[in-house]
Structure formats: structure tokens, C-alpha cells
Amino acid sequence: MLLPLVSLAFAADLTKDVAKDTLDIGVLKNSEVKVVQKMLYRKDGALEIGATLGVMPFDGYTVAPNLALSATKHFSDTLGAELRLGGGYGLENGVYTELAGPTYGVAVEAYRYLASAEADIQYTLAYAKMNLGGKKVVHYDVYALVGLGATLESSVLPSADITVSPTLPVGFGARLFTTKTTFIKFEVRDSILVEYRAQSQTWAPKQNVNVALGISLLLGSGK
């Protein structure tokens, strides 16, 4: 009977000591609670110079490997304007080869990609961190883009007619930062064309969906 009484007395004294040492900081309102994530890699004010290697694999009759060079001025960490110049060559795929072969002998009025010039606005949707295997934290951001441009293509037919098409590029991408001035860039860009086709003398829509991977350098960030 004595032991429980001693235990209760000791617990009461301990509670008093803890209460005495407790610092009263008041009550926090919801509006005062904020989660702060440090943005280690900044783009505000920087000029981004980049190069990407890509491929346009989804055209019905051609596959176009390509190279693009770009310059992007970042007005803030979320908003930037890009000028992009690309070049490549559309190769006939298996579908076109089969249709144009002796079995079918069909002359398909297809056009191959040659070059493009585009200007677009990029908006960063999110900045985040990712833990790789519990050993390394990788910083990256995800962005969307929309713009205007022009695309140069030629007919796959022997006439090799040249056409220049007004172009609306839309897409999304991700930047995986390796240092404060360099990052790896992945991008999916859908360039929507309104194309004039000389053989049929018609205008027709076309999509050049490009999947690209490259590297970029940030100049003049200073942050």
C-alpha cells in the first residue's frame, strides 16, 4: 500500500517540475503556420543556353531525328521566354516503305521535317525535391510552354516540294539540376502545323510531336 502512494507523490512532483519549466508561447493561428521550402537552384534573371537531341516518332509515315539549340531568358523563377531553332531529317518509316513498295504502289503525299524556328513562353508549374535511394536529394522543376513559329518541310515524293508552315508549339518539360548553373532537360513538344501540300493543292493540319533530352547552362543568375 505504501509503494503506490510513493509513486503517486513522485509523479505529482515531476508534473509540477515539467509545468514550471514549460515556456508558454501562446496560441498559433492557422494563418501564422507556414511551410518553407528552400529553393536551392534559382533561375531568376538568368539566361539559359541549351541543346537537345530528339526524335519525332509518332508521324504516320516518317521518323525524324533532330537537334535543337535554344536560348531562354528567365524573368523570374517561374516565367521565361524561349527562342528555339531546330533541324533534322524525316526518314521514311516501315508504313511508308510498304505502301510505296511493289505490293501496293501507293504514292503517299507525306512531308518530312527539315527545320523549325519557334518562340514560346514557359511557365514553371512546380519546384520539388526527390530522394534517390536515400543517398542523394535531387532538385527539379516542371514547366509548361506555348508559343508560335514556322516549320520547313519537304515532300517525300520525288518532286520534293518545299513548304513553310505556321506552327503552334505546346508542351511540357522538366529540368533536373546537377549544379547551380547546369541541368539536364527533358521535354515533350507538340508542334501543330497548318501545312500546304502542293500535289493535292490543299491545306491540312499536322502534328510533329518531339521527345527530347539535353543539357542547359544558366548564365548570369547570381543567386
**CB of 46 within 8 A of CB of 111?**
no
The pLDDT value given to residue 21: 52
Given a cut of 80, whether residue 14 has pLDDT beyond it is no
The pLDDT value given to residue 3: 43
Furthest-apart CA atoms within the chain: distance in Å: 108
Please, which pLDDT band fits residue 28 given cuts at 50, 70 and 90?
Answer: very low
User: Chain-wide mean pLDDT for the chain?
Assistant: 86
CATH C-level class of 40-219: mainly beta
Given a cut of 70, whether residue 13 has pLDDT beyond it is no
Given a cut of 60, whether residue 99 has pLDDT beyond it is yes
Residue scoring higher pLDDT (15 or 179): 179
Helical (H) or strand (E) element with 219: strand 202-219
The pLDDT value given to residue 124: 97
The pLDDT value given to residue 104: 86
DSSP code, position 118: E
**CB of 72 within 8 A of CB of 122?**
yes
Please, which pLDDT band fits residue 40 given cuts at 50, 70 and 90?
Answer: confident
**CB of 137 within 8 A of CB of 178?**
no
Q: What are the structural domain ranges in the chain?
A: 40-219
Given a cut of 60, whether residue 50 has pLDDT beyond it is yes
For 118, other C-beta atoms within 10 Å of its C-beta total 22
What's this model's pTM, rounded to 2 decimal places?
A: 0.80
- The residue count of the chain comes to 223
**CB of 176 within 8 A of CB of 212?**
no
The pLDDT value given to residue 130: 87
CA geometry: angle at 38 spanning 32 and 40, to 5°? Answer: 165
Q: What is the pLDDT of residues 126-165, one digit of tens each?
A: 999 988 777 788 899 999 999 999 999 999 999 999 999 9
Identity of the residue numbered 45: G
The pLDDT value given to residue 86: 98
Given a cut of 80, whether residue 26 has pLDDT beyond it is no
User: How far apart, in whole angstroms, are the C-alpha atoms of residue 143 and residue 185?
Assistant: 11
